[in-house]
Amino acid sequence: MKPPPTANEETFAALIRRISDDADRAAFAELFTHFAPRLKSYMRRLGAADPVAEDLAQEAMFMVWRKASMFDPARAGAATWIFTIARNLRIDTLRRERPTEALQAEDERTEIETAPSAEAELITAERDRAVRVALEVLPPEQAQLVQLAFYEDRPHREIERVLGIPLGTVKSRLRMAMQRLRAALEEKL
């Protein structure tokens, strides 16, 4: 059970309601003045460089402005809600940065490592072919989800937005697709 809200939490929740109901800029300015420096410090503790931390704090506050109508004080306090938005932005930023870093690291390893053996290349090619054949067995909507989730490395929430289907549908279709792929691959391999 959630503890009763403090006076500050009630004030912050009221400010968010004013933003949601009336697009109240004064309420937003008050929230921004209180939370922006705290979010920046939080981002720095999570390892973000100073300019990145500031950008993330501002982006989080912008999302508070845009998503104020989604705030539900029964589910979380205002501070928790705001810091969750900021944390999720930081995670999204790291996900966008990682593929580049991973590619750079892989390029460096490739220069050092020797070329793979012919046998390893044959095994990889055979496995890739088996996966492609198994993907063709899937219904189009499941194949599209597999493409977005695994080949394009998109999070489920982004897939939900891109395809315009509920998050639960995304997850259940992916689960069914993976079960079908697993069964098809077990037959082939």
The per-residue pLDDT for range 47-81, each reduced to its tens digit, is 888 888 899 999 999 999 999 888 888 888 888 89
Query: How much is the pLDDT for 112?
Result: 46
The span from the CA of 55 to the CA of 6, in Å, is: 29
User: For residues 36 and 58, is the Cβ–Cβ distance under 8 A?
Assistant: yes
The span from the CA of 146 to the CA of 182, in Å, is: 13
The span from the CA of 63 to the CA of 1, in Å, is: 27
The per-residue pLDDT for range 103-161, each reduced to its tens digit, is 455 555 544 445 566 676 777 777 777 777 778 888 888 888 888 887 778 888 888 98
- All structural domains of the chain, each given as residue ranges with its CATH number in brackets, are 7-97 (1.10.1740.10), 116-188 (1.10.10.10)
Q: How confident is the model at residue 2 (pLDDT cuts 50, 70, 90)?
A: very low
Taking the CA of residue 157 as centre, how many other CA atoms within 13 Å lie in the half-sphere pointing to its CB?
4
Query: How much is the pLDDT for 151?
Result: 75
